[in-house]
Amino acid sequence: MLSTPLPGGTWTLGDLTVTRFGYGAMQLAGPWVMGPPADRDGALAVLREVVDLGITHIDTSDAYGPRVTNQLIREALHPYPESLRIVTKVGATRDPRGGWPPAREPEDLRRAVHENLESLGLDVLDVVNLRLGNAEGPQPGSLAEPFETLVELQRQGLIRHLGVSTATAEQVAEAQAIAPIVCVQNMYNLVYRQDDELIDRLAGQDVAYVPYFPLGGFSPLQHSALSTVAARLDATPLSVALAWLLHRSPNILLIPGTSSTAHLRENIAGADLSLSEEDIAELDKLGH
């Protein structure tokens, strides 16, 4: 275990405490999140290192692989440490070409929750996000039917807490009118800041905002102004991007993905970077 606390401290999802520095497991599957990883032992080693370094929040989905990532998590870490929280998502499946078609009919969601329980080897899922939208991002429309299906599964004791993903601000509010949510997982990073208002609103409600693609996703962030700030701080641009997110709002939880233990350690160290008011002001100009 790491003897010093992870950058950012902790956050509470409902009644579950997690480190704000978490881990996104999507990149552990094969290319474009399909099939097994090229380096299976390496993927298992990353997951063990995540826990050894004191991270208590792993983000996953049975659609990664599909099933591959959840099975790796189970193989590497089951029986799970008491403190570990695994957050999964349902609402999309995979097609043979690697697409992510929606699967939000009540029977799709019931099946997906049971499949996640089975592949992760759990009796109850800590947090389940309802994934909305499509490859272009959030799409308008009511989430009532699929969200109510998850609420029903929660009442049955299969899910502790609910969240939504790839959601519009209106869908977040609609979900909250139906049942409490503990997190929203949307795309957001230093240069892509569509959700600024939503993050501030959720912070006031003690609801976590969990940005996906915190490092830019499949093409890590590159920006000349970001490189300039990073060079001045003698840090990497990705460290600055993570440190900026932790600074942006206390309800932001990090789930950067990596298939490398070296990158995992580098990202933890990098997120601890302190940013001055001048750095923040310069970085704030990069958002759109």
Ligand X SMILES: NC(=O)c1ccc[n+]([C@@H]2O[C@H](COP(=O)([O-])OP(=O)(O)OC[C@H]3O[C@@H](n4cnc5c(N)ncnc54)[C@H](OP(=O)(O)O)[C@@H]3O)[C@@H](O)[C@H]2O)c1
Positions that interact with ligand X (CB under 6 A)? 24-27, 59, 89, 131, 165-166, 185, 212-217, 220, 238, 255-260, 263, 266-267
> Greatest CA separation found in the chain?
54
| Least gap, CB of 279 to ligand X (angstroms) | 19
Is residue 282 within 8 Å of residue 32, measured between CB atoms?
A: no
- The 3-state DSSP class for residue 270 equals helix
Which one, 14 or 24, has the nearer CB to ligand X?
24
Q: Which of 64, 80, 188, 192 is catalytic?
A: 64
CB of 89 to ligand X, least distance (A): 6
* Least distance from ligand X to the Cβ atom of residue 171, Å: 13
If you ran DSSP here, which 8-state letter would residue 208 be given?
Answer: E
Distance (Å, whole) CA 102 – CA 93: 6
Q: Give, in degrees to the nearest 5, the angle at Cα 267 between 263 and 271.
A: 170
- Burial class (CB within 10 angstroms; exposed 0-12, middle 13-18, buried 19+) of 24: buried
Provide the 8-state DSSP code for 164.
E
Q: CB of residue 256 vs ligand X: minimum separation in angstroms?
A: 4
Q: Which helix (H) or strand (E) holds 139?
A: none
Cβ partners under 8 Å of residue 204, min gap 6? none
Among residues 35 and 278, whose Cβ is nearest to ligand X? Answer: 35
Instruction: Give catalytic status of residue 23 as yes or no.
Output: no
Give 121 or 220: the residue with its C-beta nearer to ligand X: 220
Q: Which is nearer to ligand X, 264 or 277 (CB)?
A: 264
The residues annotated with a catalytic role in the active site are 64
